Every structure is written in C-alpha cells, then in structure tokens.
A and B are shown apart, each in its own frame.
Chain A
Amino acid sequence: MSTPTPPVKGTEEYFNSSRLRVIAMITAATLAVGALGGIAGVVFDPDPVPKDHVVQPGGGAAEGSLGSVGSLGSLGAPGNASPRSHGAASPFTSRLPGADATDSPSPLGSISPGDGGLSSSPSDEATEGTTEPSDGGDSGNSGGQGTTIEATGVDIYVPDGWTVDFQDENRVFQSNGQNSFSFAFSYVDDPSATAGDIITQNLSSLLPAENYTQLQTSDVVPLEPFGSIVSLAGIEYDALWVDNQGSIGIHGLIYVGVRQDGTVLGLLVEHAPSEEFTDALDEMIPILDNSYTRFAGLG
C-alpha cells in the first residue's frame, strides 16, 4: 500500500507556477518567437523585382507580332503613383460589381453610372467611333481566341492555355492555372481623358488596400499611342496579397488606353509569387499586345 501525499497548506501548491511566472513565461516565449520571426524576415530578404517591365503594346502591330519586354525605358525606382487633377474614375474598375462611382466623379462629365453610360449599352458615339474588332473577337472561354466586352465591343485576347474565369458587361477575368491572372475592363469616357489620369484615379479600386498590402508602384509611364488610341499609359506594382487564409507576394502591370472615340480599355496582368513574375511575363504579354493592337484597330 502506497502512502498518500499529505494535504497541502493552500491551493496555490496545486500548481507549479505562480501568477508572475506564468505571465512572464508566456510573454517571454511569445516575444522570443516574434524575435525569431523578425530574424527570418531579415534573413529571407529577397532581391526586389525590378519594376521595368512596362512595354509598348502593339509595337509590332503591323506584323501582328508581340511586343518585346523592356522595349520601353525602365520606370526607375519604386514610388507612388501621384494623383492628378484630371481623370475619370470608373465604377467597375473597382472590380466590385455595383461599386459606387460617385466617389470620384469625372470632371469631364462624360461618365455617369446613373445614366447607363457604363453598365448599359454603349453610346452611339462610342460604337460609331470604334474600329471594328479584328477577327478572333468571338466570345468564348477557351484559349487562343478572344472574348468581347459587351458594353463597348472591345475584344480581349485569350491565349492558348488561358481560361476566362468570369465575365460581365464591362469586365473579363482570365487565368492560366499557373498563378497568372488578367483583368480587363472597358467603358466609355470623354475622349480627352488621359490614360495616366485614369490609372491614378482608379488605382485604389484596382488594387484594393484590404487585400493588396505593402503596395509599391512605379510612376505612371506614358506610352506611345498608336492606331486609333490617343492616350496610353502603364504602371507596374508589387504587393503582398493577404486575407484570412494566407498571403502571397504578387507583381503586376496595369495598362490603360483611351481611343479617339472615348472608349477606354484597361488591362491588368499579375502573377504570384512576385519573384516569378519575369519568367511568367511571356505568358501575359500576348494578352496586352494583341488586345491593344485590336483595340487600336490594327489587329
């Protein structure tokens, strides 16, 4: 028969640690793990992905060839796209169906979500002035052809291996199943709107801060208009995508072109993780190049 342990003097003896010790141990351990995380953050510091990938789309339009990476100059050091005084904020560039466009009304007054300028059928002016999309503009969700944005009749190129994931009146989303994504939007603006202004006015909608954290953008790069395009610009960005289920580095390009009839085509291409962007760019360049070539009426 074993001997029972004698009764204790008080209930504090029922635990190994005092209050102070429990609090100190948990707090110290948490700080220690945090410090390890901090060290990891310093040690695993990758080389920044250069933001010099904005290219001139439609560079070889006459021959129907693709533009080459780096055909336009480097954008230089990361910075913030500076807002400008003029430009239209598109309600659907927020990527949120039904987003409120009244936050940033166009000073040019040609875009109004309330009068159907964006979500209903395009105006006569827009369609009359539009260069007919080239062949390959059939809607569809298989690669190698194209799909048409209903509101403006703009044709978006869908390369082989890419799939249209979602499409509505003004937008087309496509992906290639290898972490590359593309988002196209089109609407009718005042023909005098400049592409750079449209980018800066809509950047926070295109890259919502709730998910695109640590956002770094290049300066807006004005590009050479061609065909029926009267204004063309691009911007490059790097961000850390986050939500409650994970995070991933993401790198991308945004292009906006404005045609002489006021039709706007915005194209965003991005890839995750960031460090693979350069390798993945070859997959995305055809979307930019062919779509803008067709948009310019040259395809």
Chain B
Amino acid sequence: MACPTCSSDNPEVASYCHRCGTSLRLGDAKRSTSYAVQSAEGVTQFAVISTVMPHTSRHSADNYRWAMIISGVLILAATALGLLPIAIASAAFLVPLAYLVYIDDVNLWEEAPAAVVVGLFVATGALSVLVSLFFFDWVFDAQWASFAGGGPARGGIGSMSFPALLIFAVLLPVVAEVAKNLFAVLLAARPQFDDMIDGLTFGVAAGTAYAAFETIVVYSSVFTAQDFRTTSSIASWMIVVANVMVVKSLIYGTATGIAVASFSGKGEGYDGFTPTYFANFGLAVVANIAYWLGVRLMAYLPFGNALGLVWGFLILAALIVKIRMMLQVALLEAAVEAAAKGDGSEDRRSTFVETFCPECENLLLTNASFCIVCGTSVRSSSRQARSAMGITPRAAAAPAGTPALPPGPSSEGGAE
C-alpha cells in the first residue's frame, strides 16, 4: 500500500510507513497516541526515563527505572536515618551517574568516551563549581544568605530582598545555562553526534552534571555541620533530598537538553546557533527562572518546602512533554522532508539490512526509518542497534576528506 504522506510503498500489513512513520491505521494520521521514540507510550505521557534516555527500548528502560527506584529508596532511607552527608551526596549524583551508565549502555560515546565524559561531566562540573562559588560564596555570599534564608522566619515575603532575587533567580539561571550549554554544544557539533537525540542526550547529561556539582556547593554546610547524623527535622530533609535527587537534577537536564537538541536540529548535520536554538535556550532559562523564583516564593508559605517540590514537579512535567513533542515532530518531519526531497539523505539514517526492531522485536525492513509494526524510529535505537541495521556512524565510515556516507541501498528500494 502507498503511504498517503510520502507515497512510499509499504506491505499491506504495515501499521506505519517504514519511510516517514505516518500511521497507516484509520483515525491516527497524526500519531498523537504513539510516541516515535517508544511507540508503546503516548506523545504527551509523563514518562521520564524514555524521554531523557531516548535510546533505550521499552525493556531496557525498565532497567533504569528499577535502578533509580532502588537507589532512590536507599537514599531516602539514609535521609530517614539522618545520614545527611551520605544522602545529599548520593542524591546529587544519582541522575548523572545513571546517565553515565546509560551512555555506556547505548554506546553513545562511540570512539570518543574521553571527550564525552570529560566534556560533559568533568568540564561542566568544574564550570558549575566555579559559577556556584562565584555566586554563592565569593561575590554574593551576603545576598545568598539573605535570599536562601528568606522565609516566614525572616519576616515573610515583605522582607524579601529584590536585588538578591534578581541575582539568584534571574542572573544566575542565565549564566548557569550558558555554562551548561557550552560543552554539550561543542560535542553536538561533532559529525558523529549530529542527531537531535544526541544533542538532547548531551544537554541532559551536562544539565544534570551541573545540577549535581551546584548541589554540593549550596549544601556544603551539610558536610561541615557539627552533627554527622541528625535526628530532627527529618521530614524537611526528605523533601529537600527528593527535590535534589529528582526534580532539580531533571529540570536542569531537560531544559538544557531542549536547547542543545535544537542546536543539533532535526535533519542531517547540526543546525547551529539558529533563531530556534536561541528561542529554546531562552525557554531553558525561563524554566530555570520559574523554578528558582517559584521555589523561593513558595518558601514564604506554610509547608513551603513541600510546595516548592510540587512546583518543581509541575515545571519538570512541562519540560518532559515539551521534549517529547519536539522529538516527535523532529523525527516525523525529518523523515517526511527527506522522503519528499528524494535526495537519499534519509537513507543514511535508515536500515541497510533486515534486522529486529529494538522496541517490538518484529522484523525491520531494509531501507526503513520506522518499524512498520510499532512505528518506532530507528534513529532512537542504540548505537549497537543501528550498527546491526547497517547504519554506519558518519565519522567512522568516512576517511578524512571523503563523504561520510554508508553504502546505501538505492532510495527507490522500498520495502521488501
């Protein structure tokens, strides 16, 4: 049957076009219920793991869910026992560590593990420490004490320092976002990492690494407190640890992920510093400002810490949905555009041999960009999977000075 969008020929049993991912089922032409990265989920579903770890499959995403749940429970148990230095340190680094394992698991770093690890985690972490020390300790320490110490115990919202609010809820998020983007963008500009999903991944990694090191700086007093173990105010600490462990880390990560993904762009090569990138950079800054400002204002209310946690969750949910819609549009539009152009550009991101869909384990056709059964995009597969599909990484396939093209099948090959 011919796809109504790109006119590619598909088997009669196909539910999705293998070239452009268009749903061939009646009543679902826009694929609003089937996320192209993991087709078992809806596009607007609040699913954290499959959003920030798009190269996982339905089954491998469960590995990370369980790992995060087990680690999270251990961290909260440490908090409940009052072991704050242990709880804060492990909570700050849980997501970045999980992300490091993920990048290794899907072989995202290709032949450049050092560049990825050093660039994203070490260099961004070092920048985070510098920026945080500059703001919280070296220059604006008095304003920080006024800002963070603000609340009902210090006169309520009437005593809020406006300059401190501008410094920490506006200026800092802008500077921090630049620091988070810096190394992620440098990596996303490399030819082997030009996919939007790569950009997203690097952005999330950089953002979570930044959050982890910033957390260590702003909660450093936990490590220098006179009591190693505390038995009071455990409820407050549980909220704080949950915020640090999940909400803050993922807000920083997803916001930066959106910006860097738009740097990569939806098609081949990276788009660079386009107006779209700056718009999404602005969105990331706004999300961080909203988070910092909202949490601060909530702190002036009764149960302010708990309200701040809820506020953070709302922002995180919005960012997660934004990423999913962004990837959905990018994957589908890029495929349609490539099919419409007929220049063979999408062939470089399509299967070269018959293999298995990582999501549903049905057979993937040759020259396919999507599984005809579940509709999952092959671009969201792990590097190993794409290698098995015959999608050769550009940099690896291309000797210096030669076009980085895999030996693609003829573009008119269609489904077999």
Contacts and interface: CB of A to CB of B under 8 A. Distances in A.
Is the pairing of A and B real?
yes
B354 A178 contact: no
B145 to A, nearest CB: 4
B390 A4 contact: yes
Nearest to B357: A11
Nearest to B248: A244
B344 to A, nearest CB: 15
Contacts of B168: 245
Contacts of A36: 89
B385 interface: yes
Interface in A26-59: 26-27, 29-31, 33-38, 40-42, 44-46, 48-49
A187 interface: no
B106 A15 contact: yes
Contact of B388 (A5, A45, A96): A5
A41 B221 CA distance: 9
A37 B406 contact: no
Contacts of A35: 86
B225 A249 contact: yes
B233 interface: yes
A37 B390 contact: no
Contact of A95 (B60, B153, B361): B153
Contact of A27 (B74, B232, B352): B74
B329 interface: no
Contact of B155 (A13, A95, A213, A243): A95
B252 interface: no
A95 B152 contact: yes
Contacts of A206: 153
A5 B89 contact: no
Given A183-B154, A213-B236, A40 B145 contact: no
Contacts of A249: 221, 224-226
B226 A48 contact: yes
A241 B292 CA distance: 18
Interface in B381-401: 381-382, 384-385, 387-388, 390, 392, 397
B141 A16 contact: no
Contacts of A210: 233, 235-236, 303-305
Interface residues of B, number: 103
Contacts of A238: 226
Given A16-B384, A19-B66, A7 B239 contact: no
Contacts of B233: 209-210, 212-215, 242
Contacts of B144: 246
A26 B68 contact: yes
A247 B78 CA distance: 18
B98 A173 contact: no
Interface stretch (B14-22, B156-164, B189-197): B156-164
A37 B147 CA distance: 26
A22 B67 contact: yes
Contacts of B176: none
B237 A242 contact: yes
A178 to B, nearest CB: 6
4 closest A-B pairs (Cβ-Cβ)? A37-B89, A41-B85, A166-B155, A34-B90
23 contacts: A10-B356, A14-B384, A15-B382, A15-B384, A17-B104, A26-B68, A30-B74, A30-B75, A31-B90, A34-B90, A37-B90, A38-B89, A41-B225, A44-B224, A96-B152, A165-B155, A173-B155, A177-B142, A183-B155, A214-B227, A216-B227, A242-B219, A242-B240
Given A4-B390, A23-B66, A246-B144, 15 more contacts: A15-B57, A22-B67, A27-B74, A37-B85, A37-B89, A38-B83, A41-B228, A166-B159, A179-B141, A207-B153, A208-B153, A214-B226, A240-B222, A245-B299, A248-B148
